[in-house]
DNA sequence: TTAGGCATGTAAAGTGTTACATGATTTG
DNA sequence: CAAATCATGTAACACTTTACATGCCTAA
């Protein structure tokens, strides 16, 4: 299932232009399926060429014409069939975790910064999703997916906060192997 | 940070051939950074061409010569510099969640199957990581990353199990809108 | 005897990312 | 006055995936 198929799916919910779809990818799909204009516009052109969507150009002043896409019957069928035939993948590609894997080669200050940034990003995701949920009505699927994102992001943030000492305390160990007793976490564990 | 950089990183830990690296990607990196032979072998050739690794060919009978790669000093430097210069991304691309988003268009039996499969996959990930952790000693970074994977997978599995009724109970609602009181979850909420 | 492990790679196709190019209107 | 929003797209590049090609050894 690629960006093209997802655009088709979004158009099965309501008509939209490329710009609108991009916003949906940036909001509802942000935490699990990123896509940029570079994928979306060619996808729409392709769908139109295959007759799966139709396009109406609405003239505007001072802006390019707004091209509103509407799904066709063939498009609906194609989408349902795509949904039911694909074995759904679920792939994480995390440079963040890769970097952490090699934490002993990373500058300590940078490491802490990266950890802080990532936690903040996760917290922001949680806040954002929960705000969204409160202010819009969604399909069961959309709510489930949003909830999933929030729960997973929260779990990730909590893990990082409660285990980061595994990575950052090497500083204390390196600097003063004899003074381990001074480390607060060592006293607690 | 691409597959090439990660190969270099792995070679900074110990020498290995392409086949060995693939196994590491399949085990330690499985849950956060997939890579196949098609990325790994060209990456190694490239690293060697740039002088970041050296290759020793060890003759074998009945198999292609084993090409053992060792990192060079230039390679170590390049890796540390790559680690410290990249803004680490963390991208999920989930066809699974995309499919769930459009759950109302998915065949009910298939939906349940997909849900079951995904939970089982997550549970398997957790089991695998925990087994690994018990039977091998790892760097702080590697342990942190493994723990992260386990915690997040567990949270995901639990979310799916405790919220799947949001998706599957539409059957009951569709079939008998009047009998909502019979739904156990409806009584609790 | 068959499946899986060991071991190498290439080539083409598919997909996505990034940078570029344009420009009026609205909001702070 | 600057920044964000609306609105379109293309072209080059990067990277990964998939399928292909080969073949012995070992354990169940």
Q: Work out how many CB contacts closer than 8 A connect A with B.
A: 204
pLDDT of residue A170: 58
Query: Cβ contact (<8 Å) for B105 and A147?
Result: no
pLDDT at position A86, please? 82
Exposed, middle or buried by CB within 10 Å (0-12, 13-18, 19+), for B62? exposed
Say if CB A133 and CB A146 are below 8 A apart. yes
Cβ of residue B77 near strand C, that is under 7 Å?
A: no
Residue of chain B whose alpha carbon sits nearest to that of A147: B159
Q: Which residue is nearest to nucleotide C18 (CA to C1')?
A: A38
Identify the pLDDT of residue B90: 96
Average of pLDDT values for A30-35?
A: 96
Which residues are paired to A53 by β-bridges?
A: A71
Question: How far off is chain B from A94, nearest CA to CA, in Å?
Answer: 4
The shortest C-alpha distance from B89 to chain A (Å) reads 5
Please give the protein residue whose CA is closest to the C1' of the nucleotide D11: A38
| In contact, B8 and B74? CB cutoff 8 Å | no
What's the whole-number average pLDDT of chain A?
A: 90
A35 Cβ contacts chain C strand, under 7 Å:
yes
> Which pLDDT tens digit goes with each residue over A75-114?
999 999 999 988 899 999 999 999 999 999 999 999 999 9
User: Residue B187: what pLDDT?
Assistant: 41
- What confidence score (pLDDT) does residue A18 get? 96
What pLDDT, on the 0 to 100 scale, is given for residue B186? 44
Over the stretch B41-73, which tens digit does the pLDDT of each residue have? 999 999 999 999 999 999 988 888 999 999 999
Residues at the strand D interface (Cβ < 7 Å): A 17-20, 23, 37-38, 41-42, 44-45, 60, 63-67, 91; B 2-4, 34-39, 42-43, 61-64
Q: What is the pLDDT of residue B37?
A: 96
* Among candidate residues B132, B149, B97, B103, the one with its CA nearest the CA of residue B118: B97
pLDDT tops 80 at residue B123? yes
> How far apart (Å, rounded) are the C-alpha atoms in residues B129 and B146?
6
| Interface contact B33-A118, CB threshold 8 A | no
| pLDDT tens digits for range A118-162 | 999 999 999 999 998 888 888 999 999 999 999 999 999 999 999
Residue at minimum CA to C1' distance from nucleotide D25: B62
3-state secondary structure chain B: CCHHHHHHHHHHHCCECHHHHHHHHHCCCCCCCCCCHHHHHHHHHHHHHCCCEEEEEECCCCCCCEEEEEECHHHHHHHHHHHHHCCCCEEEEEHHHHHHHCHHHCCHHHHHHHHHHHHHHHHHHHHHHHHHHHHCCCCHHHHHHHHHHHHHHHHHHHHHHHHCHHHHCHHHHHHCHHHHHHCHHHHHC
Partner residue opposite B86 with nearest CB, options A80, A95, A139:
A95
Position B101 scores a pLDDT of 97
Closest residue, chain A, to B13 (C-alpha): A102
Model confidence at A187: pLDDT above 60:
no
Whose C1' is closest to the CA of B45: which nucleotide?
A: C9
Q: What is the rounded average pLDDT of the residues B177-186?
A: 45
Mean pLDDT of B85-106: 95
Q: How far is the CA of B64 from the C1' of D21 (A)?
A: 13
């Amino acid at each position: 299932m690629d960006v093209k198929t997802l655009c088709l799916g979004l158009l099965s919910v309501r008509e939209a232009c490329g710009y609108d779809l991009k916003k949906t990818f940036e909001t509802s799909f942000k935490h699990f399926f990123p896509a940029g204009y570079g994928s979306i516009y060619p996808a729409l052109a392709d769908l139109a060429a295959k007759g799966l969507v139709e396009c109406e150009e609405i003239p505007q002043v001072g802006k390019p014409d707004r091209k509103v896409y509407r799904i066709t019957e063939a498009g609906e069928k194609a989408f349902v069939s795509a949904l039911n035939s694909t074995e759904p993948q679920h792939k994480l590609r995390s440079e963040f975790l890769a970097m952490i894997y090699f934490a002993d080669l990373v500058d300590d200050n940078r490491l802490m910064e990266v950890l802080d940034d990532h936690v903040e990003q996760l917290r922001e995701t949680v806040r954002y999703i929960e705000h969204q949920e409160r202010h819009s009505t969604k399909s069961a699927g959309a709510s489930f997916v949003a909830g999933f994102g929030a729960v997973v992001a929260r779990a990730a943030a909590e893990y990082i906060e409660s285990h980061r000492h595994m990575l950052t305390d090497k500083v204390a160990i390196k600097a003063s192997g004899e003074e381990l007793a001074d480390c607060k976490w060592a006293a607690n564990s």
